[in-house]
Amino acid sequence: MHHDVTLIAMLAIGFVFAFVFGYIADRLRLPPLVGYLIAGVMMGPFTPGFVADAGLASELSEMGVILLMFGVGLHFSAADLLAVRGVAVPGAVGQILLATLLGIGMCLSWGWSLGAGIVVGLSLSVASTVVLLKALEERNLVDTANGRVAVGWLIVEDLAMVLALVLLPAFAGVLGGHESAGAAGHGAAGDAQPILLTIAITLGKVAAFAALAITLGPKVVPWILARVARTGSRELFTLSVLAIALGIAYGSAAVFGVSFALGAFFAGVVLSESHFSHRAAADSLPLQDAFSVLFFISVGMLFDPSILIREPDAVLGVLALIIVGKGVIAFGIVLALGYPVSTGLMVSAGLAQIGEFSFILLALGISYGLMPPEGRDLVLAGSILSIILNPAVFFVTGMLQKRFAPAPGKPFFGEKRFHALEKDLARNKARGEEREHARKLEIEELIKTFPMLSLIDEHDQDSLLLLFRPKSASPGQRVIRKGDRGDAMYFISSGAVEVQVGDHRIPLQAGAIFGEMALLSGERRTADVTAVDFCQFQVLDRRDFNQFMTRHPALRAAIDRMATERRAMNRAETA
């Protein structure tokens, strides 16, 4: 070939390998993601055959993380985050600290430095939100109270890792690595003032981004989507959803230093308060699924299988810390905060793996000379094995939850806090359902009043609702004047009007339409229309009428027939 097709080759072979190994894994009663990881190993530099571009795979996988986190945000409102803050914030922070201490102790026992221990400990202390969501979705647990707590916990961990990624270069010299450019001029001990300033700036940026997203976002984003939905173009709406998700994700990283994943999550949270959230989720779902597969492929590509033979004891130690160590810590913290055993088990299962932030921390630690490359291989081995074993962990957790489930009607430990959390989450869910129900009722009422609108499907009915402009008229008010230019079509929601054609007056009640003849013919208005009661109209402007009717020939044909019948009737009346 005369041009570079690296991207096409990687996507083609990646999806083929993922499909083949994913199908084999499913036939072996394993989760398909196990097959995706194996596909990545087969495409990596440590196995013979095709070797994909690791950097390209990593960037494409980041797309999957962005879209998946955007989808999470669409179903996880700011109110839900506030509802679980009592357990997610102290729990995640405490678990990160204790798990990092375990990682430091393990690395010191291997003869590694304190800096290496901190990097490895932090890498092992956090879990992958992508893996957790896949596990929860497969078990229909995303919308449960325990599922919400687990997701909220990992969101707090992601926020903590943003801070860690910023502070690690500042502390690199202190911990025995190479000093960063920003820290080099502040003395060997790393001046306290610049470090504190760095912390303050980082926290300020994250707070500024969150405040901007929560206050300004719900006003701007739904307004943009409403304007796009008015065009009636499905492709344009899907494009606008992707533009918002990727644009906010990239902008948050470039301006505020927040990760792509967190930026995309907040973009989803912003949109979750709008009635466009369900449509946005449906439009972005296929891309989420496709690109999330690339995330698991990119993880598998980094794995060197020989580490299992070279350092089996160290691999087992890392795996034990990920699955057992973090699980026990999280379980204890949840119980100490006064929440039930079922919540502790769910969080423990969700944390029994590591993912994207771990790899970023590892790469940063190696670049600053804080840890040997061998550490990356050990952590990656732990990541691959923990992700593969995660379904088994969830299975065991489910068995334990059934075993320790309280008898119906009997009190249990943490009952008060858990029921309060359930009520808060149920209240938030009810608000969203009320908004959606009100929108559906509005559409149903519209179709009931104007049966011809049933000719268009649900998505386009929603678009038509956005195109309508409400208008009212009092008895005796002239709505349309003969000889005027046709600029709109009127749907009578309530009340009645009278159409005057020559000396004849034709009454029209609620459910009727008028003004369509001038729009279809392009001629001037041929009759006066006057309100004879208090009227409410839904008005469709000329431009919107032409665009919408072009996309829906069946509806246009029905209106054409109605207009033809009216012309014949008007000619008969005036003859």
Average pLDDT per 10 consecutive residues for the chain, totaling 575 residues: 66 90 85 83 84 78 78 74 87 93 92 89 87 84 88 85 75 69 41 65 78 79 79 79 86 79 80 73 77 81 85 92 93 92 92 80 80 83 86 90 80 83 84 72 77 74 76 91 88 90 84 86 86 90 80 81 77 63
Q: Does domain 465-574 have CATH number 3.40.140.10?
A: no
pLDDT for position 194: 66
Q: Does pTM surpass 0.75? A: no
pLDDT for position 4: 56
DSSP secondary structure string for all residues of 79-108 = HHHHHTHHHHHHHHHHHHHHHHHHHHHHHH
> Taking Cα atoms as reference points, which of 211, 210, 294, 256 lies closest to residue 13?
294
Tell me which fold the domain 55-405 belongs to.
Na+/H+ antiporter like fold (1.20.1530)
Q: How many residues does the chain have?
A: 575
For 318, list phi and psi in degrees, rounded to 5: -60, -45
Domains of the chain, by residue range, sit at 55-405, 465-574
Distance CA 303, CA 15 (A): 19
- Per DSSP, what are the bridge partners of residue 471? 537
Whole-number CA gyration radius for the chain: 30
* CB neighbour class for 415 (10 Å; exposed up to 12, middle 13-18, buried from 19): middle
pLDDT for position 101: 94
pLDDT for position 106: 93
Distance CA 214, CA 211 (A): 5
pLDDT for position 60: 78
pLDDT for position 6: 76
- Measured over the CA atoms of residue 254, residue 259, residue 265 and residue 269, the dihedral's sign is negative
Query: Residue for token digits 């049966």?
Result: 451
Edge-first strand listing for the sheet containing 478-480? 478-480, 528-531, 496-501, 504-509
